[in-house]
């Protein structure tokens, strides 16, 4: 018995996990992202965005600790504690995360793995476009060429809500209704809060601003303030820098649950898997001056892609250590016999799909 929300990874899946992480690691390195390792144990922070869902414990000194629940804040802490935020650094990371409560189902676990990248110490549309392109390349590396990136602009939502001059509570309610794309609820809240005119129309339009590049033109027809127009200018510049073939979907009503996103936010989906495969964006000012990145969900991506049911069998079953060493030196995958009973070894080789049995005197009939 193992805890709910955890699982074993048997050889076919474990091998697929390792292979995919190695391919991502090489891809990120080729783009200049250097590896970092982050502590699994963190000092518990009640202001952490996932504090209510974290596994907590108390050490012998009485200090409350928590298991790492997400990577963005862990990277921000590293940057702040090591004084790395004054110039551009590109980092990649990989590891496990833990949540005390999580919805159980496909792709939803209490112990799960992510791999991702962060660019800290600089900001601008070029870096945002770089991250979108790298996310696209990571999905292709995972053999998911049909995955689509959805790009939102939480900064636009935040700036429109700030223009209402409402208190934090009402703004939070509007934010939640926009994220749920619940237009009747949003209209009722705007009426209750006394938001009228062009600003009401602009906020009410956000959930429907979904689609291709034409969404930008629709947004610009709304009555927007200077900050909101600057947000759209930024996004338009990012999109202009994307390579041919990378077509994103725009969701300008993507309000996002975390408050630290200060610019774009993006995630990826495949047509037949309903959970996001990756997520990221820009979070300037969230503990460090400039930062942006994304994280890939390993379990979700393998669930969406599929995992081989079995691994390829070794090519040879060697009868003695010398034969095994000689064949391995030539690049052959070899298992070593554990017994002298040739009939038992033949039966094992047939069941495992091992085509050859070899010893010091040559091949043995399987």
Tell whether the model's pLDDT for residue 258 goes beyond 60.
no
Contact between 132 and 151 (Cβ < 8 Å):
yes
User: Between residues 318 and 83, which one has the greater pLDDT?
Assistant: 318
Lowest-pLDDT range of 213-222, 250-259, 272-281, 331-340: 250-259
Tell whether the model's pLDDT for residue 155 goes beyond 90.
no
- Closest Cα partner for 209 from 198, 222, 196? 222
Structure tokens at 221: 């027809």
Per-residue pLDDT of 93-127, as tens digits, reads 999 999 987 654 544 689 999 999 999 999 999 99
Q: Determine what percent of the chain is predicted with pLDDT higher than 70.
A: 96
Rounded Cα distance between 292 and 281, Å, is: 6
Sign of CA dihedral 175, 178, 183, 184: negative
pLDDT at 259: 65
- Give me the mean pLDDT over the 230-246 stretch: 95
Dmax over Cα atoms in the chain, in whole Å? 91
Q: Are strands 265-270 and 148-152 parallel, antiparallel or unpaired?
A: antiparallel
pLDDT at 22: 98
pTM of the model: 0.91
Write the DSSP assignment of 3-55 as a string of letters: -TT-----HHHHHHHHHHHHHHHHHHHHTTPEE----SEEE--TTSTTGGGS-
- Closest Cα partner for 267 from 282, 277, 253? 277
Tell whether the model's pLDDT for residue 257 goes beyond 70.
no
Residue matched to tokens 């079995």? 310
- Give me the mean pLDDT over the 150-173 stretch: 90
Tell whether the model's pLDDT for residue 318 goes beyond 90.
yes
Highest mean pLDDT among 29-43, 47-61, 187-201, 242-256: 29-43
Rounded Cα distance between 139 and 155, Å, is: 26
Question: 275-278 — which CB contacts under 8 Å span 24+ positions?
Answer: 275/106, 275/107, 275/108, 275/300, 276/300, 277/139, 277/144, 277/147, 277/301, 277/304, 278/116, 278/135, 278/138, 278/139
- Give me the mean pLDDT over the 1-25 stretch: 93
Length of the chain: 366
pLDDT at 102: 67
pLDDT at 274: 86
pLDDT at 228: 87
Name all domains of the chain by residue range, CATH numbers in brackets. Answer: 1-136+266-311 (3.30.930.10), 154-253 (no CATH), 316-364 (no CATH)
- Give me the mean pLDDT over the 22-30 stretch: 98
């Amino acid at each position: 018995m193992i805890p709910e929300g955890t699982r074993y990874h048997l050889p076919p899946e474990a091998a697929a996990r390792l292979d995919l992480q190695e391919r991502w690691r090489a891809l990120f390195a080729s783009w200049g992202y250097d590896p970092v390792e982050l502590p699994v144990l963190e000092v518990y922070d009640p202001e952490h965005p996932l504090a209510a869902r974290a596994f907590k414990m108390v050490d012998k000194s009485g200090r409350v600790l928590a298991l790492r629940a997400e990577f963005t804040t862990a990277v921000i802490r590293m940057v702040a504690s090591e004084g790395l935020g004054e110039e551009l650094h590109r980092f990649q990371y990989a590891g496990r995360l833990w949540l005390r409560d999580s919805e159980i189902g496909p792709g939803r676990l209490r112990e799960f793995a992510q791999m991702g990248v962060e660019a800290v110490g600089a900001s601008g549309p070029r870096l945002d476009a770089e991250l979108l392109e790298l996310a696209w390349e990571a999905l292709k590396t995972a053999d998911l060429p049909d995955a689509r990136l959805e790009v939102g602009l939480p900064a636009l939502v935040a700036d429109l809500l700030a223009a209402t001059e409402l208190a934090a509570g009402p703004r939070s309610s509007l934010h939640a209704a926009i994220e749920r794309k619940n237009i009747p609820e949003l209209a009722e809240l705007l009426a209750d809060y006394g938001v009228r005119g062009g600003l009401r129309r602009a906020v009410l339009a956000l959930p429907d601003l979904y689609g291709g590049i034409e969404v930008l033109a629709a947004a610009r027809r709304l009555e927007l303030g200077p900050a909101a127009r600057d947000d759209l200018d930024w996004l338009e510049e990012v999109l202009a820098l994307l390579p041919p073939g990378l077509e994103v979907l725009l969701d300008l009503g993507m309000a996002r649950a975390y408050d630290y996103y200060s610019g774009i936010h993006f995630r990826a989906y495949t047509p037949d898997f309903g959970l996001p495969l990756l997520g990221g964006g820009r979070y300037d000012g969230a503990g460090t001056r400039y930062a942006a990145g994304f994280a890939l969900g390993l379990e979700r991506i393998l669930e969406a892609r599929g995992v081989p049911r079995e691994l390829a069998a070794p090519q040879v079953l060697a009868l003695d250590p010398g034969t095994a060493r000689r064949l391995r030196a030539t690049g052959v995958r070899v298992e070593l016999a554990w017994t002298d009973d040739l009939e038992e070894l033949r039966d094992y080789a047939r069941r495992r799909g091992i085509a050859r049995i070899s010893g010091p005197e040559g091949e043995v009939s399987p």
